[in-house]
A and B are shown apart, each in its own frame.
Chain A
Amino acid sequence: MPSKGQNTRTIKVDYLARVEGEGALHIKIKEGAVAGMQLQIWEPPRFFEAFLRGRYFTEAPDITARICGICPVAYQMSSVHALEDALGVQVDGPLRALRRLIYCGEWIESHALHLFMLHAPDFLGYDDSLRMARDHPELVKMGLQLKKVGNQLVALVGGREIHPINVRVGGFYRVPTKAELAPLAERLKWARDAAVKTVAWVGGFTFPDHEMDYEFVALRHPDEYPFNAGRLVSNRGLDLEVRDYEEHFQEEHIPYTHALHSVLQGRGAYFVGPLARYNLNFDRLPPLAQEAARQAGLGPVCSNPFQSIIVRAVEILHAVDEALRLIESYEMPDAPAVKLEVRAGAGCGCTEAPRGILYHRYRLDEAGLIQEAKIVPPTSQNQKSIEEDLRRFVTGHLDLPQDQLTWQCEQMIRNYDPCISCATHFLKLKLEGE
């Protein structure tokens, strides 16, 4: 329960709703300043790296997909790219296009779920999407329909909606025909209109003032808004090949959380996800998405994480538009996958999960058995930024009534759409003074 002493302040929330997974937040306020900040994540996805040891390399996409029910495609994509890197294989043409297509589906479903069901209630003053649905049934229906289009894309290319089973190192087990993809184009045309409306709708929300000088990190590709490929860049001059990731990014063990904290060596916290992608790749968005963003009041750079809801809407629009383009230009490949020759080696891959860059590295022996695996999910990379955001926000808003401060702390966390089931599962928020 909230309480207030002469020099101390205690804010405690036992359950933070509308996030993916289980964790806790503990903030201590002493003498009018934040004395402690712990985003605690309990579930241990790190065990996956150990599960993978001794497994044949072809199993990695399906094993790692199980890390998350919201973004399994991201795990499949990062793992296949890393393993293809280890085996010296490049996947191009229609197979590459299909990978982008399934990723479009995942972005659409993940972003639509977060935007409509988890995040929008914050800006409309509802405790949850259930109360929002009573007053705005048409908007919630539109959100669920948009999500469904994403699910249908993933199901068609991936074999099923959650934890798809059709992705493999080298390509797919089966590729769709043009005729199978065609009906989806009709649904996507509806979704494109719905996404335009969504950008305009969320652009009209009122956003708290909160701009910070973040280091944004995302992939950047010469021609595309990034899904599967590109260099790792930041707004502070970082420009790396994915293979150099571990020379610059470091994971730290923190006593209070099961998820490792990622930091940029010598620089500290960084920010991954839709806001980072948008800020570093605005010029790679299609004109339709750029125009929608401008109409919604966003310039090419946005440093207010509360406005990430607009960026997610813009990314839904991009993903829908890109999926339509990919379906229209699709030609069935001769084979569903490229041929692989097993050899010893190491490789890494980094792709843009809905919540930001997801890095995988594998080392294989000559029989193709995984000797070592490393997985760095986006939420563990954002943890430090979330904590720093909260520290800054709480420090600057100690005058707010207790309930409002707590509410805005929760909103601050939801700005990141943290997938705690990836980094781990369940968020409890506890703020306390001494």
Chain B
Amino acid sequence: MNKNGETLIIGIGNIFRGDDLAGLAAARLLREGQLPGVKVLEFDGDMTGLLDAWEGAAKVIVIDAVTSKSPAGTIFRFDAHEQPLPQKMFATCCSCHAFGVAQQIEIARSLKQLPPCLIVYGIEGQDFTLGSKLSPEVEQALPRLVEQVQQELN
């Protein structure tokens, strides 16, 4: 359970699937920054746990890799209270649980369990091959993503 008013950063990804790691990598960089009053969580599988993870949090920032045929490393920002998340962009290509983060967020909306503030960052990946590493374009974009999230917190 989170303390009321807490801010939560949730990085999502699979460390063994190339650019799918991007969300986790960003979260880890943000954790290293030791942001006061911010809790950083990592999710690598079961998205149904998101609803429990953010229960009680005032502000939640979710970071995940996306695929939208944009150049690798492109950063997207969505305010979940302003628009539904584009399901295709957050497709379940790398989830063996049949649920992607977008779908889970929309389920949370139906259940009225969205946190008061929910911002979702997507970072375009290009290579999700099992056993591969982050592509250089995604790796180069990470500091920019981290900076944007930090600004979001201020």
Contacts and interface: CB of A to CB of B under 8 A. Distances in A.
B128 to A, nearest CB: 12
A421 B96 contact: yes
16 contacts: A17-B98, A20-B96, A117-B48, A117-B98, A129-B103, A129-B107, A130-B106, A137-B111, A137-B112, A140-B107, A144-B51, A144-B111, A147-B48, A148-B52, A151-B49, A421-B96
Given A70-B97, A128-B103, A161 B110 contact: no
B46 interface: yes
Contacts of A19: 98
A363 interface: no
A19 B103 CA distance: 15
Contacts, number: 55
Contact of A141 (B49, B99, B111): B111
Interface string B17-61: 000000000000000000000000000111011011000000000
A133 B48 contact: no
Contacts of B51: 144
B103 A134 contact: no
B42 to A, nearest CB: 12
B46 A161 contact: yes
A130 B107 contact: yes
Interface string A76-118: 0000000000000000000000000000000000000100011
Interface of A: 17-22, 69-70, 113, 117-118, 128-130, 133-134, 137, 140-141, 144, 147-148, 151, 161-162, 420-421, 425-426
Nearest to A20: B96
Contacts of B103: 128-130
Which DSSP category, helix, strand, loop or mixed, fits chain A's interface? helix
A21 B93 CA distance: 9
A161 B44 CA distance: 12
In this complex, the member of B46, B98, B99, B103 whose beta carbon has the largest number of chain A beta carbons within 10 angstroms is B98
A113 B104 CA distance: 13
Among B46, B93, B103, B110, max chain A CB count under 10 A is at B110
Interface residues of B, number: 18
B110 A133 contact: yes
B46 to A, nearest CB: 6
A344 to B, nearest CB: 34
Contacts of B112: 137
B46 A69 contact: yes
Nearest to B108: A133
A134 B110 CA distance: 5
Given A151-B49, A425-B96, A426-B96, 6 more contacts: A20-B97, A69-B97, A117-B98, A129-B103, A130-B103, A137-B111
Interface centre among B45, B96, B97 (most CB of A within 10 A): B96
A134 B109 CA distance: 9
Contacts of B99: 117
Contacts of B93: 426
Interface string B59-94: 000000000000000000000000000000000010
B51 to A, nearest CB: 7
Nearest to B51: A144
A69 B45 contact: yes
A22 B96 contact: yes
Most chain A Cβ neighbours within 10 Å, of B51, B97, B107: B107
B74 to A, nearest CB: 24
B50 to A, nearest CB: 10
Listed residue (A19, A69, A147) with the most chain B CB atoms within 10 angstroms of its CB: A69
A20 to B, nearest CB: 6
A22 to B, nearest CB: 7
B96 A21 contact: yes
B46 A144 contact: no
A130 B96 contact: no
Nearest to B98: A18
Contacts of A161: 46, 49
A21 B51 CA distance: 22
Nearest to B16: A66
Nearest to A21: B96
Enumerate the 5 nearest inter-chain pairs by beta-carbon distance, A residue then B residue, closest first.
A133-B110, A421-B96, A69-B45, A134-B110, A133-B107
Nearest to A141: B111
B55 to A, nearest CB: 11
B54 to A, nearest CB: 13
Nearest to A163: B45
A426 B46 CA distance: 16
Contacts of A147: 48
Contact of B111 (A18, A133, A148, A426): A133
A421 B45 CA distance: 12
B89 to A, nearest CB: 15
Interface in B103-154: 103, 106-107, 110-112
Contacts of A21: 96
Contacts of A144: 48, 51, 111
